[in-house]
Structure 1
Amino acid sequence: MAIKKMGLVFIATCFLGLIFEPGRAHGSTKSDLFMSHGSDLPVAQTPPLVGICESFVAVHGYPCKEFKVKTQDGYVLTLHRIPEGRVKGSGKIRQPVLLQHGILMAFWAWSWDELVEHDLPALFDFVHSQTGQKLDYVGHSLGTLMALASLSQGKLVDQLKSAALLSPIAYLSHMTTSIGQIAARSFIGEITIWFGLAEFNPIGEAVATFLKALCAYPGIDCYDLMSSFTGKNCCLNVSTIDLFLQYEPQSTSTKNLVHLAQTVRDGIIAKFDYGNSETNMKYYGQSKPPIYNMSSIPNDLPLFLSYGGQDALSDVRDVELLLDNLKFHDGDKLTVQYIKDFAHADFVMGGSAKKIVYDALIAFFNRW
């Protein structure tokens, strides 16, 4: 990955990849399992047989370091740092870049509100403490929603140089994935049942039964679940898919999926709705959850948005709603890329993603 400016890369693996984490053996990282009960210090984690650095980074000739980052609410996150390229640099200061992936994620009594409130600030603080510099940020899917929600509240702005959002997830009411729409309605309608199942484990018995029921719906191809969720990806090759499918899907918090389902149903971007005014009053001081106002994102913050015409999750109409919220953004600070043939997974696994997306992204970063 020969990058001139992005010589210092932090990869937040606490928020897992597109739909599944690349590697169950790497462990669930948004968890207090690594915390000692009588101390504020993290205890040693039983090392995986093959870690992310060793299995995915070092094998390609890049140096890689792993860090543990503690959030204010007591979780321990894993962060991987690639400090330089294959060829050692000249020793000059490099620009830090945080890569933030999306769903599915791990462990249990939280939604993406907590990722906005606690996780992103902890990661930003850590990277800033290591480098002393503002960050460039790259988010995909849920990683974009986390950034947008944070920025709409004025958070992270002082530590952020620019942000690139791939397959931006904000509004979700127009998503065209049938399985996603049906699942969203199911999570809303069965909220009390699912709250009794805090962990949404895609390979567990309860979720397998749920998915089997979804597969009975017309128009859902459970023999091609990736396309059923993401849209028809144009540019994945066989070796990429084979590598992807070597690893099992990881768990997430059921509450997180319920929160996303609320976003689909309500057509707004708001904090988690506890389902009754009394509980909402307890958490928010008002009967309805507060809204994340996308138009409050600072107009002078450099933003790069890239979205695809075949994306069933980040639908073109929903992205247009987001762009309408950004219509007063400084013209020279907002770069928008539309790729007609790309679906959700193409942005992270497409064979042409480097040429079409990443080169444009790096050129954008190099402007600031």
Structure 2
Amino acid sequence: MRNLSWCTVSLTAVAVTSVLVAYLLGGSLDPTARDPDIDLTTVELIAKYGYPAESHTVVSEDGYILTLHRIPFGKKSPGKTKRQPVFLQHGIVSSSVDWVIMGPEKSLGYVLADAGYDVWLGNSRGNVWSSKHVTLHPSSAEFWNFSWHEMGIYDLTAITDYILRRTGQEKLSFIGYSMGATMFFAMASEKPEYNKNFNVMIALTPAMYIKYCISPMPKMFAIAGKQLEWLSNLFGVYQILPHTSLFTFIGRHFCSDGAVTQPICMNILKLNMALNNKETNTSALPLILGHAPAGASIKTFQHFGQNINSGEFRKYDYGEEKNRIVYGSLIPPKYDVSKITVPVAIMYAQNDIVTDPRDVAKTKEALPNVIAYLKVKDEEFTHADFAWAINAKSLVYEDILRLLRKY
């Protein structure tokens, strides 16, 4: 069985049992529900809502072909004046669409563009928009031999260089969501010369320390990482949660308004994607599943699982024998976060099952230059809400705008 996961299996179970449930309850599966935004790419979505949209290609030092999406200005701030670039990096198994999927006034990409910023949206290697390499084929094990470490030291450095060169600016601002923040911290500690290129780094629910994570997918790798790695090599499966038509089908037919199975769908997504009943627009579930998940390497989840077990922010653990060759020690070294000199603002949520407040507090204490430490005022706010919450603008994005204006 290829590319299976907790979320895939759970949602497939919904599809298999939903017909029977609908029959017993006398309800409908709502097979005609269709949001046209489901079928649009990130650039097409941006253009549909009247914003300028661009697609750019960046090649990393180690050969990965990365796609960047850009909103150079907003509808409320048109013109050709030179604007401050802001780079947004999504979390694991996500893509650039996360920053625009909820539409104008509700998605951070549009909010920043309308506030006068030049908005750049990243796509991490291995996701649906960055799945090519100059020499390696995506079916090979070599292609998928990376985690967020390589995404940080190779992808973010190449993207930073590209944005500054393209815009002619000396610095940019960075917003990293979950793994996006992890990538930045790896880069800024391993490539400290890049610290000077950033005005400020805003870490949304940063996944640097994740000892107390209880989200099913990373926790599964913490518990059975070696066994899952063995199975991965046995079956030649190195990618996890690629986007397929199955997710789109399930979202459209079983999670839409009017479908009797929508509550089941919501509960499964709440468990796997850390959704919040109060802040989730259930009408948007088919749209979300039309674009997410977007794929990641198994090694990326394995790396997070290792850090859950160690309770530290460490490099990838290859096992004692290979660690001795790669690192010169039996255990992988910790990242030297004392080298991170960029001003860092941290935003976190009390109800987060991925980055527990205790882990975020450890992140705050470890970093040398934290200039803001903000808890979302809604006590029920959780991990996915930073991207998809109904009230994300008032609860999160307005604070981001204040920080950007200050730094």
User: Following the alignment from structure 1 to structure 2, what is the Cα–Cα distance between the partners of residues 283 and 83?
Assistant: 42
Query: Is residue 65 of structure 1 aligned with residue 103 of structure 2?
Result: no
Query: Is residue 96 of structure 1 aligned with residue 85 of structure 2?
Result: yes
Q: Once the 2 structures are TM-superposed, how far is the Cα of residue 58 of structure 1 from its aligned partner?
A: 0.5
Aligned partner of 2:152 in structure 1 is: 116
Question: Counterpart amino acid of 1:138?
Answer: I
Question: Counterpart amino acid of 1:354?
Answer: K
Query: Is residue 291 of structure 1 aligned with residue 334 of structure 2?
Result: yes
Aligned partner of 2:161 in structure 1 is: 125
Aligned partner of 2:361 in structure 1 is: 320
Q: Once the 2 structures are TM-superposed, how far is the Cα of residue 62 of structure 1 from its aligned partner?
A: 0.3
Give CA deviations for 1:186-208 in whole Å, capped at 9, x if unaligned: 2234433334434233379xxxx
User: Following the alignment from structure 2 to structure 1, what is the Cα–Cα distance between the partners of residues 291 and 155?
Assistant: 25
1:143-162 maps to which residues of 2 (within 5 A)?
143-153=180-190, 154-162=192-200
Aligned partner of 2:98 in structure 1 is: none
User: Following the alignment from structure 1 to structure 2, what is the Cα–Cα distance between the partners of residues 101 and 275?
Assistant: 29
Distance 1:175 1:83, change over 3 A: same
Is the contact between residue 144 and residue 165 of structure 1 (CA under 8 Å) also seen in structure 2?
yes
Question: Counterpart amino acid of 2:162?
Answer: F
Is the contact between residue 304 and residue 334 of structure 1 (CA under 8 Å) also seen in structure 2?
yes
Structure 2 segments unaligned to the other structure (5+ residues): 1-6, 9-38, 94-125, 128-137, 139-143, 244-263
Is the contact between residue 69 and residue 126 of structure 1 (CA under 8 Å) also seen in structure 2?
yes
Distance 1:255 1:222, change over 3 A: farther
- Identity of matched residues, %: 30
Is the contact between residue 344 and residue 369 of structure 2 (CA under 8 Å) also seen in structure 1?
no
Is the contact between residue 198 and residue 253 of structure 1 (CA under 8 Å) also seen in structure 2?
no
Is the contact between residue 98 and residue 135 of structure 1 (CA under 8 Å) also seen in structure 2?
yes
Match of 2:307 among 263, 285, 308: 263
Distance 1:316 1:248, change over 3 A: closer
Partner SS for 2:390: coil
Question: Counterpart amino acid of 2:358?
Answer: R
TM-score, length-scaled by structure 2: 0.68
Question: Counterpart amino acid of 1:306?
Answer: M
Pairs aligned (count): 301
Partner SS for 1:170: coil
Match of 1:193 among 203, 206, 231: 231
Give CA deviations for 1:75-119 in whole Å, capped at 9, x if unaligned: 100001111112563432100000100111536121111111200
Query: Is residue 348 of structure 1 aligned with residue 387 of structure 2?
Result: yes
1:70-89 maps to which residues of 2 (within 5 A)?
70-87=59-76, 89=78
TM-score, length-scaled by structure 1: 0.75
Give CA deviations for 1:304-358 in whole Å, capped at 9, x if unaligned: 21111111001111111111213x536xx33433442210111000010011111
Distance 1:345 1:129, change over 3 A: same
Q: Once the 2 structures are TM-superposed, how far is the Cα of residue 303 of structure 1 from its aligned partner?
A: 1.8
Is the contact between residue 90 and residue 178 of structure 2 (CA under 8 Å) also seen in structure 1?
yes
Question: Counterpart amino acid of 1:323?
Answer: K
Question: Counterpart amino acid of 1:132?
Answer: G
More helix by share: 2
Larger displacement relative to structure 2 (257-266 or 289-298) = 289-298
Partner SS for 1:320: helix
**What is the RMSD of the two structures over their aligned residues, measured on CA atoms?**
2.7
User: Following the alignment from structure 1 to structure 2, what is the Cα–Cα distance between the partners of residues 187 and 91?
Assistant: 50
User: Following the alignment from structure 1 to structure 2, what is the Cα–Cα distance between the partners of residues 143 and 359?
Assistant: 20
Partner SS for 1:270: coil
User: Following the alignment from structure 1 to structure 2, what is the Cα–Cα distance between the partners of residues 80 and 139?
Assistant: 15
Q: Once the 2 structures are TM-superposed, how far is the Cα of residue 284 of structure 1 from its aligned partner?
A: 2.4
